[in-house]
Structure 1
Amino acid sequence: LTWTLSNAQLGAFTFFASALPHDVCGSNGLPLTPNSIKILGRFQILKTITHPRLCQYVDISRGKHERLIVVAEHFESSLRDFQKQGKTASPEKVLQIAFEVLEGLEFMNKHGMVHRALSAHNVLMDCKGNVKLAKFGLYHMTDHGADVDFPIGYPSYLAPEVIAQGSFHPSDPSHDEAPLPSGPKTDVWSLGVLLFELCAGRRLLQNIDISERLKFILTLGCMDDIVTVLAEEHGCLDTIKELPENVLELLRKCLTFLPSKRPTPAELLRDPVFSEVSCLYTPFQKPVSLFSSSLRCAHLELPEDISDLCKDDDEDYLSERAIDEVYHLWCLAGGDLEKELTIKEIIQSKPPICTLPNFVLEDGESFGQGRDRSFLLDDTTVTLSLCQLRNRLKDVAGEAYYPLLEDEQSSLPQSNSSNELSATVTLPLIIRERDTEYQLIRIILFDRLLKAYPYKKNLVWKEARVDIPPLVRGLAWAALLGIEGDIQAKYETIDKDTPIPTDRQIEVDIPRCHQYDELLSSPQGHIKFRRVLKAWVVSHPDLVYWQGLDSLCAPFLYLNFNNEALAYACMSAFIPKYLYNFFLKDNSHVIQEYLTVFSQMISFHDPELSNHLNEIGFIPDLYAIPWFLTMFTHVFPLHKIFHLWDTLLLGNSSFPFCIGVAILQQLRDRLLANGFNECILLFSDLPEIDIERCVRESINLFCWTPKSATYRQHAQPPKVAGDNGFGKTTTYYSSDYQDMPKTDLSREPLALCDLKAEVSPRISAEDLIDLCELSLTGPTKRTKAGKPKIVAVDIRSQEDFSRGHISGSINIPFSAAFSPDGELVQCPATGILQNYRGRVIVVISHAMKSAAMFAAHMVKVNFPRVCILDGGINKLKPTGILTVPSPQI
């Protein structure tokens, strides 16, 4: 859901959460979660509360000393400005404001929220004079005020039942238990006070001491007509009496002393008093989300003269973008929340000596200061200037905001900065992600592609190969994983509440999973973690919960914190693709096969490192299981996982092998210089890994790996068409060797013991034909460099070789290198193949044992990219591609 900036501004306000004692632990023995973290977690749901009468929440950031800064949609005009003029509002205006406020309150109530801080300066007015309620989430995010040291609400506007409860704080020993949270009716009283002030043209109870003010409100319970009493108290009885009966009736209903007799916003909204007003408004309809069963469409309105669309050269295209997108770009353009608040003196830095508490000398003399007032609530909202952002984007042409998806030309707009943007693509990813103009272009492009998903699925894949903008990463990943259908309905049908045996393990794992992250460490984060993990366990009865599943869940939950259904759907699609059967109750055969193939990949790409690790006994079983069981989420922080998975999701199930080899190659020098114990210590605290280099090298390794070399018997079986898990039948497209139709030239399953006995991987006959670019009718093709990608080494005897061989292959008889009992005599291959070092070397024989021995020796002498033809020469005989040398004349 998007809410455009339009004519609004970005505003920020700050407050402090209550500080917790440092020496107190929770029931689980862990330190208590800071209140600021709790507030940060509860805040997230507010970003999804989108309504025309509510100011859209955008972001929250946590600073030092429990400081929190909230960013939200903001307007400079409010009802306070109306009050300052000292004029009375017309009855029509009063009814309009009342109706619009009630619309916002009713929508909040449907989401289980109460404003509680309703006041004149929190009822903003947009450029069209319509109501926008601000700070409506303060009561919710602070757990009804329990996590802050200040009361939520303003004395003049608080309902009598709220005042009667008195102030409360969890650390206060005089209260045994917290009072019940305020209900929707408290806001109706506050609205009544606001409307009375509009009618009377003055503020209520402003010249009276706060304690007297509160006493006065509580005494109103003895009055029959509260509206008349208030009017007499403020000398405006004549003004109030002149109001139309429907407005007076509205005031009386709002200012009903007893909550049991006071209407709720929903009841009041349907009251006959609004019969004439309500027909002027169309009910708000929530936009359809990307993944649902409802039809998505845009309601487009074109002017009668199409040329009118292009007349305004100074059109503000930025205002048409989503407000969270504008804020993201504002941050990239150098926006700093604390700096903005410091300039306006909302944040005041003081030397530590000035913040010391009171201390008393022996003679009773007191020094120091009382409570630091800078830690109290200052609810001033500071407008964030967009000048710096607009200046940064001034050279971006208007066409850039409306890219043509089917344009075969460059996807970058033609503008003064187009050359700079084209150059940006070649820069490191971390720089591209911080470039304002580049991110604007990428976000707009992905936004359009995702709105057209799944019809533009192929274009999403194409653009994701360039990079994925961080702002849309969650939806982009979902598109790459092929998520479709009504995921929310599917998720809601899963029982996530009934206790199951796995609950205990989940409870233990969650407090240890990426808890450096503020969002995932919040109580709301833990609740969502638990629900998504339980949903996966319950919906996959054939699989079990293994430690590491929580780490796999973390990236999806972080990116879809407000959409558990999408986090669950992504996780459910990710696991079968990359971790098929890893979560079986007995997964030893799956893990062992995976590690054996990984070991062969190390030998294939880096034989010297493989030889060393095998010599010292440092096998993948000792370090790689957490890598693959969690797809590296257990060993890397989230910000690195995002960049790693951006590429991983574009690859097939064999890509993780290449990532593993790339990590080892970054540590290569240290591994080669150390023994077993040192390597164990090295991996117990993995050194810093350059993740961009890792991704780059993984892609290179992936391109050099024959598809069939990573074949696994226990990988996901071919999936041509069928249910995608969300009630939709889809076609499955993948370049994964596992999904290719099996032929007589495909690889055959191999027993685990036989697989472990071979150092080098096997490749299929069809891979060999493809890599050699052989044709049944034509000669061997060559690469652009004039050399084949591959060299075939035929180790059969010269006699067998002369009867038929692959065109261009080299004959090095096995008998010339090995004695009949398998002992190495000499190996002419070492010298002969030096000129072919670096190419893929395929060993061909009629006996697989001799081919494996020959390949093992090549690895022993550090020849890279050595593999074996599965099935030997016999697999190629039926194809007709074997050639016989011409007889000598």
Structure 2
Amino acid sequence: MRPLKDAQLGAFTFFASALPHDVCGSNGLPLTPNSIKILGRFQILKTVTHPRLCQYVDITRGKHERLIVVAEHYESCLSDFQKQGKTVSPEKVLKIAYEVLEGLEFMNKHGMVHRALSAHNVLMDCKANVKLAKFGLYHMTDHGADVDFPIGYPSYLAPEVIAQGSFHPSDSSHDEAPLPSGPKTDVWSLGVLLFELCAGRRLLQNIDISERLKFILTLGCIDDIVTVLAEEHGCLDAIKVESKSLAVFVDIIFCSVSSRPTPAELLGDPVFNGVSCLYTPFQKPGSLFSSSLRCAHLELPEDISDLCKDDDEDYLSERAIDEVYHLWCLAGGDLEKELTNKEIIQSKPPICTLPNFVMEDGESFGQGRDRSFLLDDTTVTLSLCQLRNRLKDVAGEAYYPLLEDEQSSLPQSNSSNELSATVTLPLIIRERDTEYQLIRIILFDRLLKAYPYKKNLVWKEARVDIPPLIRGLAWAALLGIEGDIQAKYESIDKDTPIPTDRQIEVDIPRCHQYDELLSSPQGHIKFRRVLKAWVVSHPDLVYWQGLDSLCAPFLYLNFNNEALAYACMSAFIPKYLYNFFLKDNSHVIQEYLTVFSQMIAFHDPELSNHLNEIGFIPDYSVIFVKSPLFCVYFCTDVFPLHKIFHLWDTLLLGNSSFPFCIGVAILQQLRDRLLANGFNECILLFSDLPEIDIERCVRESINLFCWTPKSATYRQHAQPPKASGDNGFGKTATYYSSDYQDMPKTDLSREPLALCDLKAEVSPRISAEDLIDLCELSLAGPTKRTKAGKPKIIAVDIRNVEDFSRGHISGSINIPFSAAFNPDGELVQCPATGILQNYRGRVIVLTFVVLSEHLNLSTIPYKQISANLICHSHEPHSLKSFKRVTLK
């Protein structure tokens, strides 16, 4: 969006038509309210940006089908000339005509017409340039079908529009809806506007509305319409004297529909030869993910000193309109309150809104039609005083931050130095803090404009938090989206029917229907196109139920950019759900659930033992896949969107093993209820998941991720090796920075296990190199030690005493297998196992080591080490997981 500059924010409201409550659609579902339909169609208007059009910003839905639209606004308009009663010079009229036609032509290229063109909807900025307002009303209301009022003003509507009359879908007297108005309709309205500028007053202003309509209809049959209008208002001679070419130009406008030109044709009329040379054709700046040069529109001023800012510079006006509105809302802005203060919204007691009814004797009771539900197109200017007062202490330097040194290893951002106290607050509070969000938005905006060259800094700042306003672009950067995504998306066939169409049609109406945007017809259309594009472009994969929920966050954040939503989903799936969408994905699911079960055993052995005892284990794969427990890894089916956003802000910083940590963190919040219930109760618990503290989940999942060795989450069916990168969690987790599959393989790397062998082990295995590195980390310094100064990891060597004395890992303890286990492999109580009581709070690793004959472990490499993680909890003595440990 373009900067605010001298513009203001304006809001206007109207009501959508109410639908009957007892009628369902052809699919058996309730009809979508017209207000939600309008809300969905409105979104594309935010992308229609042109110097001659007022920028749309937002739309909100209130009670009783009320809609409030926020858009760029200016106080001055063409009506000011009429109020002054002065005529406008021909040169000025031609300039206004050209600029209006520029805006109309741009709308026509996007398949839109104005239809509500009038003197008070043609605004003027501080430089007297035209800005067309309310140009999207006809489009968002489906050509007027979703509202009870006509779109347009009778004095400016073309005769063919008035002749076809009004239409409403609920009116049984009309067999079919009239054809939508075309670009020529606006040309007639423009002609009336120009004629009024020449006359210096409104046309037909003293005539009754019915007579006015008759008069306009009559004009459609008269050859010389200009002459009739001029004689009616006594201005024919003035027009002919002042500008003969202008009279001819207006004559061209007032003609029959068949011969009336379009805005594009009028722009090429010779009357504009002296005007068109003053304007440069509009070119939309290149977007972040496109083939065009993003800096092509940038120019340095002739005098470089013009770049220096004065002390009284209005920095806020240089920010984008949508950004200013977002900050206005954070600063306490309330749309309904603003409209209520201007008496645009008038509340009435319920008793005063009862419908009118008639008794048998003819006596009537109740109220007539409530006029507050009629259209009031007054635009209320939103005051920015409260926002400016809130930001008055923000220094000018904050609007132009210097990007920090890329070599810096600080986990925190320099951008938050001035608001260091805010950084420590909960995320939900930070997202509502005006000053904090301003600084974060500005910083991310600069980093994203430099993407992909500043990709590392985007990752670093994302570790702090991601501003909600630009979350969609930030996610795309974290997923590594690059290139001309629009061209790739357009090359995919999304129209040819395929067998998956039926399943997609069934799933979409069930996906996040609580959200107004995704539940709109436009949302369903976009869902269908993005999902179909993914299915068609991945012929080796198939559509599985739940893919629509996976698409939902990306589509919501990129509602007006289907290509980016598709690109993000296409990058997300191979990273976190590699091969999950194969036609036969049972082996992938089984391995995934088994590794997850081992993660539970490692981090919470008591909970793992309980789930094993009640039979709530991955062997019941159908239950896990069909229940929300499986979806909990990504939470798209379980949590509302705002919680998904906070969770995925962190998820996208981690590798493919991070979902395991999220799952364990969620289970730990449900720990008490799970331990207290049996199998049936646990199934019911996951079918209706209780409230989850997402911020706590994020915090705990990061901690679990940083203390889980990479090889513990190794999966054969994970994404093949790729270039490794920062995991996003800072220096303390550099050892776990990338997927284990991405690490170069050595003789000490973990070898894949058959699925049956993997399921036979309750605790996860780790590689020999992981064990060596962990032991070295634990002895390297205080950062890896407990508060008492002891290392957090302890290796338990289960060989016999003789082998242990020949050589062992430094710091390990010896508990021979024959002394600690009975023939059935069960742990028995003995003095040796009692030693473990002294190591509560440590990570315990069970090792079986075969060494060379040499005893110097620091110089002679290991031939073979098999290691199993036992537990990482405050109760490491719960070692029932020993029962199914297989040692080789």
TM-score, normalised relative to structure 1: 0.90
Counterpart of 1:24? Answer: 23
Partner of 1:14: helix, strand, or coil? strand
Alpha-carbon distance in structure 1 between the residues aligned to 2:410 and 2:190 = 51
Q: Is contact 1:397–1:415 with CA below 8 Å preserved after alignment?
A: no
Please, which of 863, 867, 870 is the counterpart of residue 882 of structure 2? 863
Quick one: structure 1 residues 778 and 329, their matched pair in 2 at CA, closer, same or farther if it must change by over 3 Å? closer
Quick one: structure 1 residues 420 and 723, their matched pair in 2 at CA, closer, same or farther if it must change by over 3 Å? closer
573-582 vs 607-616, which deviates more?
607-616
Q: Is contact 1:89–1:201 with CA below 8 Å preserved after alignment?
A: yes
Alpha-carbon distance in structure 1 between the residues aligned to 2:132 and 2:409 = 40
Q: Is contact 1:227–1:255 with CA below 8 Å preserved after alignment?
A: no
Quick one: structure 1 residues 73 and 776, their matched pair in 2 at CA, closer, same or farther if it must change by over 3 Å? closer
Counterpart of 2:693? Answer: 690
Counterpart of 2:269? Answer: 271
772-781 vs 358-367, which deviates more?
772-781
Quick one: structure 1 residues 727 and 168, their matched pair in 2 at CA, closer, same or farther if it must change by over 3 Å? farther
Quick one: structure 1 residues 92 and 773, their matched pair in 2 at CA, closer, same or farther if it must change by over 3 Å? same
Q: Is contact 1:11–1:73 with CA below 8 Å preserved after alignment?
A: yes
Post-superposition CA distance 1:688-736 (Å, at most 9, x none): 1111111111111111111110000111110239999999999999611
Q: Is contact 1:221–1:257 with CA below 8 Å preserved after alignment?
A: yes
Q: Is contact 1:358–1:367 with CA below 8 Å preserved after alignment?
A: yes
Alpha-carbon distance in structure 2 between the residues aligned to 1:527 and 1:643 = 26
750-759 vs 720-729, which deviates more?
720-729
Q: Is contact 2:86–2:200 with CA below 8 Å preserved after alignment?
A: yes
310-319 vs 404-413, which deviates more?
404-413
Deviation at 1:476, TM superposition (A): 0.2
Alpha-carbon distance in structure 2 between the residues aligned to 1:123 and 1:213 = 22
Quick one: structure 1 residues 606 and 774, their matched pair in 2 at CA, closer, same or farther if it must change by over 3 Å? closer
Alpha-carbon distance in structure 1 between the residues aligned to 2:418 and 2:727 = 42
Deviation at 1:815, TM superposition (A): 1.1
Quick one: structure 1 residues 727 and 268, their matched pair in 2 at CA, closer, same or farther if it must change by over 3 Å? farther
Post-superposition CA distance 1:568-605 (Å, at most 9, x none): 00000000000000000000000000000000011100
Deviation at 1:801, TM superposition (A): 0.6
Post-superposition CA distance 1:420-464 (Å, at most 9, x none): 611000000000000000000000000000000000000000000
Quick one: structure 1 residues 435 and 776, their matched pair in 2 at CA, closer, same or farther if it must change by over 3 Å? closer
Post-superposition CA distance 1:852-878 (Å, at most 9, x none): xxxxx9532x89999xxxxxxxxxxxx
Deviation at 1:805, TM superposition (A): 0.7
Q: Is contact 1:605–1:865 with CA below 8 Å preserved after alignment?
A: no
Quick one: structure 1 residues 779 and 606, their matched pair in 2 at CA, closer, same or farther if it must change by over 3 Å? closer
Quick one: structure 1 residues 741 and 357, their matched pair in 2 at CA, closer, same or farther if it must change by over 3 Å? same
**What stretches of structure 1 of length at least 5 have no aligned partner?**
847-856, 867-888
Partner of 2:25: helix, strand, or coil? coil
Alpha-carbon distance in structure 1 between the residues aligned to 2:824 and 2:764 = 24
Deviation at 1:407, TM superposition (A): 5.1
Deviation at 1:362, TM superposition (A): 2.7
Alpha-carbon distance in structure 2 between the residues aligned to 1:507 and 1:413 = 45
Quick one: structure 1 residues 646 and 137, their matched pair in 2 at CA, closer, same or farther if it must change by over 3 Å? same
Quick one: structure 1 residues 777 and 217, their matched pair in 2 at CA, closer, same or farther if it must change by over 3 Å? closer
Q: Is contact 2:183–2:263 with CA below 8 Å preserved after alignment?
A: yes
Deviation at 1:254, TM superposition (A): 4.8
Quick one: structure 1 residues 727 and 508, their matched pair in 2 at CA, closer, same or farther if it must change by over 3 Å? farther
Q: Is contact 2:45–2:56 with CA below 8 Å preserved after alignment?
A: yes
Q: How does 1:490-529 map to 2 (within 5 A)?
A: 490-529=488-527
Quick one: structure 1 residues 219 and 776, their matched pair in 2 at CA, closer, same or farther if it must change by over 3 Å? closer
Deviation at 1:221, TM superposition (A): 2.6
Post-superposition CA distance 1:169-221 (Å, at most 9, x none): 11111100000000000000000000000011111011111111111111113
Q: Is contact 2:45–2:136 with CA below 8 Å preserved after alignment?
A: yes
Deviation at 1:417, TM superposition (A): 13
Question: Are residues 1:55 and 2:74 paired?
Answer: no
Q: Is contact 1:773–1:781 with CA below 8 Å preserved after alignment?
A: no
Quick one: structure 1 residues 129 and 24, their matched pair in 2 at CA, closer, same or farther if it must change by over 3 Å? same
Deviation at 1:370, TM superposition (A): 1.5
Deviation at 1:366, TM superposition (A): 0.9
Post-superposition CA distance 1:647-703 (Å, at most 9, x none): 000011001011111111101111111112221221111101111111111111111
Deviation at 1:252, TM superposition (A): 3.2
Quick one: structure 1 residues 350 and 803, their matched pair in 2 at CA, closer, same or farther if it must change by over 3 Å? same
Alpha-carbon distance in structure 2 between the residues aligned to 1:161 and 1:410 = 68
Alpha-carbon distance in structure 2 between the residues aligned to 1:270 and 1:527 = 37
Deviation at 1:774, TM superposition (A): 7.0
29-38 vs 412-421, which deviates more?
412-421
404-413 vs 66-75, which deviates more?
404-413
Quick one: structure 1 residues 410 and 394, their matched pair in 2 at CA, closer, same or farther if it must change by over 3 Å? farther
Q: Is contact 2:815–2:833 with CA below 8 Å preserved after alignment?
A: no
Alpha-carbon distance in structure 2 between the residues aligned to 1:274 and 1:836 = 88
Partner of 2:681: helix, strand, or coil? helix
Quick one: structure 1 residues 224 and 652, their matched pair in 2 at CA, closer, same or farther if it must change by over 3 Å? same
Post-superposition CA distance 1:743-786 (Å, at most 9, x none): 11111000011001101000011111111117999999978863
Quick one: structure 1 residues 423 and 775, their matched pair in 2 at CA, closer, same or farther if it must change by over 3 Å? closer
Quick one: structure 1 residues 780 and 747, their matched pair in 2 at CA, closer, same or farther if it must change by over 3 Å? farther
Deviation at 1:317, TM superposition (A): 0.2
Alpha-carbon distance in structure 2 between the residues aligned to 1:838 and 1:414 = 29
Alpha-carbon distance in structure 1 between the residues aligned to 2:460 and 2:287 = 23
Alpha-carbon distance in structure 1 between the residues aligned to 2:871 and 2:228 = 105
Deviation at 1:308, TM superposition (A): 5.5
Deviation at 1:555, TM superposition (A): 0.1
Alpha-carbon distance in structure 1 between the residues aligned to 2:699 and 2:728 = 33
Q: How does 1:734-753 map to 2 (within 5 A)?
A: 735-753=738-756
Quick one: structure 1 residues 724 and 128, their matched pair in 2 at CA, closer, same or farther if it must change by over 3 Å? farther
Deviation at 1:639, TM superposition (A): 0.6
Counterpart of 1:714? Answer: 717
Alpha-carbon distance in structure 2 between the residues aligned to 1:681 and 1:783 = 39
Q: Is contact 1:91–1:247 with CA below 8 Å preserved after alignment?
A: no
Q: Is contact 1:16–1:67 with CA below 8 Å preserved after alignment?
A: yes
Over the residues paired in the alignment, what is the CA RMSD in angstroms?
A: 4.1
Q: Is contact 1:597–1:761 with CA below 8 Å preserved after alignment?
A: yes
Alpha-carbon distance in structure 2 between the residues aligned to 1:795 and 1:416 = 50
Q: Is contact 1:395–1:415 with CA below 8 Å preserved after alignment?
A: no
Q: Is contact 1:14–1:70 with CA below 8 Å preserved after alignment?
A: yes
Alpha-carbon distance in structure 2 between the residues aligned to 1:679 and 1:466 = 35
Q: Is contact 1:13–1:70 with CA below 8 Å preserved after alignment?
A: yes
Quick one: structure 1 residues 819 and 222, their matched pair in 2 at CA, closer, same or farther if it must change by over 3 Å? closer
Partner of 2:795: helix, strand, or coil? strand
Quick one: structure 1 residues 777 and 554, their matched pair in 2 at CA, closer, same or farther if it must change by over 3 Å? closer
Alpha-carbon distance in structure 2 between the residues aligned to 1:109 and 1:484 = 31
Post-superposition CA distance 1:321-359 (Å, at most 9, x none): 000000000000000000000000000000111111111
Q: Is contact 1:292–1:486 with CA below 8 Å preserved after alignment?
A: yes
Partner of 2:763: helix, strand, or coil? coil
Question: Are residues 1:131 and 2:136 paired?
Answer: no
Partner of 1:805: helix, strand, or coil? coil
Quick one: structure 1 residues 349 and 865, their matched pair in 2 at CA, closer, same or farther if it must change by over 3 Å? farther
Partner of 1:466: helix, strand, or coil? coil
Counterpart of 1:853? Answer: none
Q: Is contact 1:773–1:780 with CA below 8 Å preserved after alignment?
A: no
Q: Is contact 1:772–1:781 with CA below 8 Å preserved after alignment?
A: no
Alpha-carbon distance in structure 2 between the residues aligned to 1:140 and 1:793 = 71
Deviation at 1:91, TM superposition (A): 0.6
Quick one: structure 1 residues 656 and 296, their matched pair in 2 at CA, closer, same or farther if it must change by over 3 Å? same
Post-superposition CA distance 1:475-522 (Å, at most 9, x none): 000000000000000000000011110111100000000000000000
Deviation at 1:256, TM superposition (A): 2.8
Deviation at 1:789, TM superposition (A): 3.0
Alpha-carbon distance in structure 1 between the residues aligned to 2:731 and 2:261 = 46
Deviation at 1:303, TM superposition (A): 5.5
Q: Is contact 2:412–2:464 with CA below 8 Å preserved after alignment?
A: no
Partner of 2:782: helix, strand, or coil? coil
Alpha-carbon distance in structure 2 between the residues aligned to 1:566 and 1:429 = 26
Quick one: structure 1 residues 288 and 145, their matched pair in 2 at CA, closer, same or farther if it must change by over 3 Å? same
Quick one: structure 1 residues 421 and 247, their matched pair in 2 at CA, closer, same or farther if it must change by over 3 Å? farther
Quick one: structure 1 residues 606 and 723, their matched pair in 2 at CA, closer, same or farther if it must change by over 3 Å? closer
Deviation at 1:474, TM superposition (A): 0.1
Partner of 2:102: helix, strand, or coil? helix
Alpha-carbon distance in structure 2 between the residues aligned to 1:596 and 1:35 = 48
Q: Is contact 1:722–1:729 with CA below 8 Å preserved after alignment?
A: no
